[in-house]
Amino acid sequence: MRNIAFTLTMLLGLVTSAQATEGDIDAGKQKSATCVACHSVDGNSAISMYPKIAGQHSEYIYKQLKEFKSGDRKDPVMAGMVAALSDQDMKDLAAYFSSQTMSAGETPEDVVEAGELLYRGGDMERGIPACIACHGP
């Protein structure tokens, strides 16, 4: 009985997640031509200054695109990229890139250490609280 409840809960989460963005993967692939210049064809950018978006949660990608468009998230390049996108375009792009598989990458050890320090202790000089405070272990 416990396994059935768990399975039903997981399935409900998948259905709810899919409905949250309602994007079309094939349509997103067709609309991704501009994105590939920085994020690559499958969302696995080979250039470290551009994030890998392959395999990222579609809700997250959609939220970021919406925030670039509204100006809540600031980036002049991305603001220009999303300016003409409709809400459905953003959902489709989110569905496409989230359906891709993120490639493995290597991060320099000093960057990993700095990230862990920020995660665990924040940076009080810059007013950044510890990530772990909200995004616990």
Is residue 92 pLDDT above 60, yes or no? Answer: yes
What's the pLDDT score for residue 57?
97
Task: With beta carbons less than 8 A apart as the criterion, state whether 62 and 94 touch.
Answer: yes
Higher pLDDT, 15 or 23: 23
What's the pLDDT score for residue 7?
58
Count of C-beta atoms within a 10 Å radius of residue 12: 10
What's the pLDDT score for residue 16?
47
pLDDT band of residue 107 (cuts 50, 70, 90) is: confident
Into which CATH architecture does domain 22-105 fall?
Answer: Orthogonal Bundle (1.10)
**CA 43 from centre of chain:** 10
CA distance 33 to 21: 20
pLDDT band of residue 136 (cuts 50, 70, 90) is: confident
Is residue 4 pLDDT above 70, yes or no? Answer: no
What are the sequence ranges of the domains in the chain? 22-105, 106-137
> Across the chain, what does the average pLDDT equal?
89
State the alpha helices, DSSP H only, in the chain: 2-21, 25-31, 36-39, 58-70, 76-82, 87-98, 109-121
Tokens of 24: 């079309």
Task: With beta carbons less than 8 A apart as the criterion, state whether 72 and 81 touch.
Answer: no
Is residue 90 pLDDT above 70, yes or no? Answer: yes
